[in-house]
Structure 1
Amino acid sequence: MAVPPFHWWRTVFFLIPAIALYTIVLGTLSLLSVLVDRQGHLAHRCARAWAWLILKTTRVSVDVEGLDDLPRDQPYLFLANHQSIYDIPVLFWHLPYQVRILAKASLGKVPFLGWHLRRSGHVLVDRSNPGNSTMVQIKELMRQKASILVFPEGTRSADGSVARFRGGIVMLAIEAGLPIVPVSVEGTRHVMLKGRLMTCPGHVRVRVLPPISTVAYEARKARELAGVIERQVRAGVEDLQVAST
């Protein structure tokens, strides 16, 4: 997709300062909200406002299908493909749930963003010891009726293809009895390509697939279930790519 020449200066002189301002202001509000709301519900509202502002400022429109068929009375593990850092604001704004992300612990050191993640219930994983503490956090989020968003490819796709899904988070979902919802995202890579700071206006399509119960699975079947979800997400992405051509 061709990038109009004005986008570099629009990004540098308008978008970056605007997004930095949103992050500082709403990050500060989210930190203050934790003083009165330990479960992070108010902080999540700040995160959703941050996501909405970013999408509006960068002129990114989003179509979502499948949400109407998803029951709202329980938490889920949302597993989505990863094309761009824009996947986060797209899904935070459009998933009508209390959503927390599972991310690497080093993100907790980033000013404002990391402080928000640490203090509002998001799961920051120490990859050298990911097990027991992560399970405790996931179970606590389930008790609070909060859902978890994970990008199980582990990295962003440069060309829109879906890479192999890691089985570790699926195993945790099986152990916690958390239903899994596959999510296909297409178009965010055109908004902000991997390795590129410049952003472009764009249109994103999201397909939310039916939830998969983990009750019938044993932990040793996590890799098998991860493969099933990976294929569903890949098929959804490919369908969306064809529909957009």
Structure 2
Amino acid sequence: MSLYQFGKNLVLVLFKPIYRMEVHGRENFPKSGSVLLCSNHIDNLDPPIVGACTPRMVHFMAKEELFTIPVLGKILLKVGAFPVKRGLSDREALRKGLKVLKDGEVLGLFPEGTRSKDGQLGKGLAGAGFFALRSDALIVPCAVVGPYKPFKKVRIYFGKPLDASEYRERKVTADEMTIVIMEQIRELLEKHR
């Protein structure tokens, strides 16, 4: 068993009973090919929870500071996560993300770039649009509906995949593409709150 699969099983065993986790729309997740998974961000537990609920391995972009924490940094690298410098254009992180997609794998992003303090969906950063427009990945919107409180339900919703090819043809900007992606996440949140 890989470390990733072990971690996924551990997260489910530990958190499923505490947060009464429910997963909806798993059938919407493509079984193969590159996928850009974009989710809202309400808690530090979102990456392991969303990753554990996703049917394929997810390579998450994570804030650089996490990789400086002695044991955690090594574990994150071993489960496919990679660092991104927040607040600036991190060319290395962009290259790494594009390689994940080029290799037909799943890249996980929280387009807001940080956790929402009030649970409301914030503005998305252009990175999500950049990856959508620079790859052939299908975009899977994801909504985490909380809050994370013991014995209250946390629900994960995967929406129908979005093909960005028509947006590429129309030559939309990365910011415009991100707005489209955030709208998909917003619709999922509004439908399931």
TM-score by length of 2: 0.86
Say whether residues 1:221 and 2:173 are aligned partners: yes
Whole-Å separation in 1 of the counterparts to 2:73 and 2:29: 30
Say whether residues 1:42 and 2:2 are aligned partners: yes
Deviation at 1:159, TM superposition (A): 2.6
Match for 1:234: what amino acid? Answer: R
- The answer for the alignment partner of 2:153 in structure 1 is 203
Whether contact under 8 Å (2:140, 2:158) holds in the other structure is: yes
Say whether residues 1:145 and 2:104 are aligned partners: yes
Deviations 1:176-202 (A, max 9, x none): 222211111101x342xxxxxxxx232
Match for 1:159: what amino acid? Answer: D
Match for 2:177: what amino acid? Answer: L
**Aligned counterpart in structure 2 of residue 68 of structure 1, from 12, 20, 27:** 27
**Aligned counterpart in structure 2 of residue 52 of structure 1, from 5, 12, 19:** 12
More RCO (CA 8 Å, sep 6+) = 2
- The answer for the alignment partner of 1:16 in structure 2 is none
TM-score by length of 1: 0.69
Whole-Å separation in 1 of the counterparts to 2:107 and 2:115: 18
Please state whether the residue corresponding to 1:112 is helix, strand or coil. Answer: helix
Which ranges of structure 2 fall in alignment gaps of 5 or more residues? Answer: none
Whole-Å separation in 1 of the counterparts to 2:119 and 2:89: 31
Match for 2:162: what amino acid? Answer: I
- The answer for the alignment partner of 1:17 in structure 2 is none
Question: What does 1:80-159 correspond to in 2, within 5 Å?
Answer: 80-127=39-86, 128-131=88-91, 133-159=92-118
Whole-Å separation in 1 of the counterparts to 2:69 and 2:129: 27
Give the superposed CA RMSD: 2.2
Match for 1:213: what amino acid? Answer: D
- Deviation beyond 6 Å, 4+ runs, structure 1: none
Deviation at 1:228, TM superposition (A): 1.6
Q: Structure 1's 120 and 63: CA in aligned 2 closer, same or farther, altered over 3 A?
A: closer
Whole-Å separation in 2 of the counterparts to 1:164 and 1:211: 21
Deviation at 1:157, TM superposition (A): 2.0
- The answer for the alignment partner of 1:175 in structure 2 is 134
Please state whether the residue corresponding to 2:131 is helix, strand or coil. Answer: helix
Calculate percent identity across the aligned residue pairs. Answer: 25
- The answer for the alignment partner of 1:162 in structure 2 is 121
Whole-Å separation in 2 of the counterparts to 1:234 and 1:163: 10
Deviation at 1:53, TM superposition (A): 3.2
Greater Rg by CA? 1
Whole-Å separation in 2 of the counterparts to 1:89 and 1:81: 14
